[in-house]
């Protein structure tokens, strides 16, 4: 059995879809779907059971005879504006440490989600080499919580037979509607178009002209391929970047939106002062370590990725 935490979330749902395509249904989905749109993500998918994350540890005690094959830990508080440090520590560090210990105890692979937020303003680069990780300076409490767990991992003497931390960059694609303000810029573009508005981007900031701030945008299908490659194809534990290796501007992203018979316009809005010191104006994954493992799947450009996204999106079909 595979334990998939965050299995009703954005990346988790797409992992579950791909596992189903590969014939895998013996999956325990651990999440909290109560009062959220995430319940829609699980519709039509096949898995052994859903367990609320609050009751997961009790479930384990009652099901000791079930053999666990691996853990894919994607569940976390992913709100980059969250300021409750204790909440972040309990969800992103302590819960993860307990799952690590479970993997060690059962001698099974442990895959977990780190984040590109750990790189901060990029002054220390975007390399996932372990020797550089302690030098990173995240810009917000969320990034610090992910960094704290990465650093804790690197100090452990007892480890699972395989462990992999994945620093996801800006992932976009189907299954993110429940994320609200934390959903991708593309999703917010679609909402704006649906309301008859212009596409909204930040004005000049951090030394970049309006809309010229850059991110490494990766389509969720590519992120899923990389994640499952780590689980099934490698034997070298470590922390790895999950991105495209290309930085693209938000203006580039806006230019991928093509709707027949509609003139798409961009509106630049003032950059929020409260985010000035906590915003990543540039990210770009260094993928040397990933490629050194033999990963060779083609990675979609934002032009191709957004096209696939829009073709699968009900909001876009309305046009």
266-285 per-position pLDDT tens digit: 999 999 999 899 999 999 99
Which of 40, 179, 289, 307 is catalytic? The answer is: 179
Q: What is the pTM of this model?
A: 0.95
30-76 per-position pLDDT tens digit: 999 987 889 899 999 999 999 999 999 999 999 999 999 999 999 99
Q: How many CB atoms lie within 10 A of CB 283?
A: 22
Per the CB < 8 A criterion, the answer to whether 174 and 312 are in contact is yes
3-state secondary structure of 168: strand
> Which domains are assigned to the chain?
2-171+218-245 (3.40.50.720), 177-215+246-285+300-317 (3.90.25.10)
Does the annotation mark 142 as catalytic? yes
CA distances from 220 to 234, 264, 310 (A): 21, 25, 13
Does the annotation mark 95 as catalytic? no
In this predicted structure, the answer to whether residue 319 has a pLDDT above a threshold of 70 is no
% of the chain residues with pLDDT over 90? 84
Rounded to whole angstroms, the Cα distance separating 157 from 89 reads 22
Which of 47, 95, 142, 229 is catalytic? The answer is: 142
């Amino acid at each position: 059995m595979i334990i998939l935490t965050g299995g009703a979330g954005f990346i988790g749902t797409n992992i579950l879809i791909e596992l189903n395509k590969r014939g895998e249904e013996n999956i325990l989905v651990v999440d909290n779907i109560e009062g959220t749109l995430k319940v829609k993500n699980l519709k039509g998918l096949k898995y052994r059971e859903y367990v609320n994350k609050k009751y997961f540890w009790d479930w384990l005690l009652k099901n000791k005879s079930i053999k666990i094959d691996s853990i894919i830990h994607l569940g976390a508080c992913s709100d980059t504006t969250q300021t409750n440090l204790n909440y972040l520590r309990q969800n992103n560090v302590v819960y993860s440490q307990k799952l690590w210990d479970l993997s060690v105890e059962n001698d099974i692979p442990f895959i977990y989600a780190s984040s590109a937020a750990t790189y901060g303003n990029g002054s220390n680069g975007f390399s996932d080499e372990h020797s550089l990780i302690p030098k990173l300076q995240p810009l917000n409490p969320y990034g610090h919580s992910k960094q704290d767990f990465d650093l804790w991992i690197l100090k452990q003497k007892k480890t699972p037979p395989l462990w992999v931390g994945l620093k996801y960059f800006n992932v976009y694609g189907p299954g993110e509607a429940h994320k609200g303000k934390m959903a991708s810029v593309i999703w917010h573009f679609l909402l704006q178009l649906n309301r008859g508005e212009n596409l909204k981007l930040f004005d000049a900031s951090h030394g970049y002209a309006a809309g010229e701030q850059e991110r490494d945008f990766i389509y969720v299908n590519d992120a899923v391929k990389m994640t499952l490659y780590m689980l099934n194809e490698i034997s070298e534990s470590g922390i790895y970047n999950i991105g495209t290796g290309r930085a693209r501007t938000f203006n580039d992203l806006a230019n991928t939106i093509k709707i027949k018979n509609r003139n798409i316009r961009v509106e630049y809005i003032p950059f929020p002062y409260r985010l000035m010191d906590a915003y990543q104006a540039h990210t770009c994954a260094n993928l040397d370590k990933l490629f050194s493992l033999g990963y060779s799947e083609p990675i979609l450009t934002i032009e191709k990725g957004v096209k696939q996204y829009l073709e699968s999106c009900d909001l876009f079909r309305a046009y």
